[in-house]
Amino acid sequence: MTSLTSAKLCFLPYCLVIFLYVSSPNWVAFPSATSTSDIEAKALLKWKASLFPNKALNSLTWYPPTHNINATNSSSSSPKQKTCPCTWTGVSCNAAGSVSKLNLSTCGIQGWGTNEDLIISILGHRNAAQRKVIRQTYAEAYGEDLLKELEKELTSDFERSILLWTLDPAERDAFLANEATKKWTKSNQVLAEIACSRSSHELLMARQAYHSRYKKSLEEDVAHHTTGDFRKLLAPLVSSYRYEGDEVNLTLAKSEAKLLHEKISDKAYNDEDIIRILATRSKAQINATLNHYKNEFGNDINKDLKADPKDEYLAILRATIKCLVRPEKYFEKSLRLAINKRGTDEGALSRVVTTRAEVDMKLIKEQYHKRNSVTLDQAIKKDTIGDYEKMLLALVGHEDA
DSSP 308: S
Size of the site for ligand NAG (CB under 6 A): 18
Site for ligand NAG in 102-141 (CB under 6 A): 103, 105-106
For ligand NAG, which residue of 114, 291, 372, 378 counts as binding (CB under 6 A)? 291
For ligand NAG, which residue of 15, 16, 17, 164 counts as binding (CB under 6 A)? 17
Q: Give the span between the Cα atoms of 401 and 399, in whole angstroms.
A: 6
- Asked if 367 contacts 330 with a C-beta cutoff of 8 angstroms, the reply is no
61 binds ligand NAG (CB under 6 A): no
Q: Which is nearer to ligand NAG, 8 or 283 (CB)?
A: 283
Give the CA distances from residue 192 to residues 58, 87, 181, in Å, rounded to whole numbers and listed in that order.
53, 53, 11
Site for ligand NAG in 62-101 (CB under 6 A): 67, 69-70, 73, 75, 77
Angle at 166 between CA 162 and CA 170, to 5 degrees: 130
How big is the chain, counted in residues?
A: 401
Site for ligand NAG in 252-271 (CB under 6 A): 252
Q: Which is nearer to ligand NAG, 288 or 338 (CB)?
A: 288
251 binds ligand NAG (CB under 6 A): yes
Query: Residue 152 Cβ, how far from ligand NAG at the closest point, in Å?
Result: 27
Q: Which is nearer to ligand NAG, 32 or 75 (CB)?
A: 75
- Asked if 244 contacts 285 with a C-beta cutoff of 8 angstroms, the reply is no
Half-sphere exposure of residue 117, counting CA atoms within 13 Å on the CB side? 10
373 binds ligand NAG (CB under 6 A): no
- Asked if 2 contacts 389 with a C-beta cutoff of 8 angstroms, the reply is no
Q: Which is nearer to ligand NAG, 44 or 393 (CB)?
A: 44
284 binds ligand NAG (CB under 6 A): yes
Q: What is the CA radius of gyration of the chain?
A: 25
Angle between helices 116-123 and 36-50 (to 10 degrees): 150
Q: Residue numbers of the site for ligand NAG (CB under 6 A)?
A: 17, 67, 69-70, 73, 75, 77, 103, 105-106, 249, 251-252, 283-284, 287, 291, 325
